[in-house]
Amino acid sequence: MVPILRSLLFVPGNVPKMLDKAMGCRPDAYLPDMEDSVPEAEKPNARCVIGAYVARLSTTGPLVIPRVNALDTGLTADDLEAVVGPEIDGVSVGKVHTADDVREITDLIGRLEQAAGVEVGRIGLIPWVESAKGVVHCYAVCTASPRIIGVAFGAEDYTHDMGIERLGDETDSEVAFARNTVCVAARAAGVPALDTPYFKFKDNAGLQRNALASKRCGFKGKFAIHPAQIRIINRVFSPSVEEIEQARRVVAAFEAAERTGRGSTSLDGQVVDVPVVKRARNILALAESMPESAAD
């Protein structure tokens, strides 16, 4: 079953103080990071620290999905070896460009699962699509393995790869095409698309608008880089009280029309027909499936 992943909190893996702090937060997933929040010289330390923390993180509720270094660093296998085991729910891997990259990663995970006595295939995978090549191959990446529980779009590396300026404002206009492409490819593959973090971590109003735009584009969740972002992201990616109420009214209006032999009706001056009621029912199903903290 694809888990609910609205908020995914990055924690630099070489900072035990932040890992301790994270355990008091309630994201849907922790991403203790070995990749770009960790300086080169600290990589071996981050690997050790995260290896030692995953057992404790796994007892607190949120999913544990460490992020490891990309295949071209030569660090991926050792990073995975430090964390693959019964305590983690998945791994996230930076800079995945093709389906072959996914297959190489899943083979590594599979061998480590076997060695750790974990059922092969149990550990999920969230690849980062954050290059022109990754965007072009996104559907192939998303369908390359049944392990994939989400696909992440990374705007910082994507703009670097494209040689364009990262504006970093709340509109994310410079990455609009890539964001839309990733969302459509992810949807076609049946996996949730997860959006790049909003780096202005003190700008809560900007984050709220940025996350809402992500949701409207088709993302199902967003990475957080600071604990204060979790609550806002969770709220945006959960159906609101108003959305739920409106969905109930739409379903009620449609069912009343059906009883009189009609396949469409109107509500507040707008047409309610089959796709409209399907969307409303989806909102109600999503609301049902949310954790109790949905409105937090």
Positions in the binding site for ligand COA (CB under 6 A)? 9-12, 17-18, 21-22, 33, 36-37, 197, 201, 225-227
For 75, phi then psi, to 5°, come to -100, -15
What does 134 bind: Mg ion, ligand COA, none (CB cut-off 5 to 8 Å by kind)?
none
Tell me how crowded residue 23 is: count the other CB atoms within 10 A of its CB.
16
Rounded-to-integer distance, Cα 78 and Cα 89, Å: 18
Binding site for Mg ion (CB under 5 A): 130, 154, 157
Tokens in use for 122? 């149990």
Least Cβ distance, residue 25 to ligand COA (angstroms): 7
- Closest to ligand COA by CB, 18 or 49: 18
Least Cβ distance, residue 8 to ligand COA (angstroms): 10
Identify the three-state secondary structure at position 8.
strand
What does 201 bind: ligand COA, Mg ion, none (CB cut-off 5 to 8 Å by kind)?
ligand COA
Least Cβ distance, residue 277 to ligand COA (angstroms): 39
- Closest to ligand COA by CB, 202 or 259: 202
What does 10 bind: ligand COA, Mg ion, none (CB cut-off 5 to 8 Å by kind)?
ligand COA
CA angle 239, 222, 220 (to 5 degrees): 45
Least Cβ distance, residue 177 to Mg ion (angstroms): 18
Closest CA to 105 of 74, 149, 71: 71
CA 139 vs CA 13, 97, 185, 189: distances in Å:
30, 11, 5, 6
Least Cβ distance, residue 94 to Mg ion (angstroms): 5
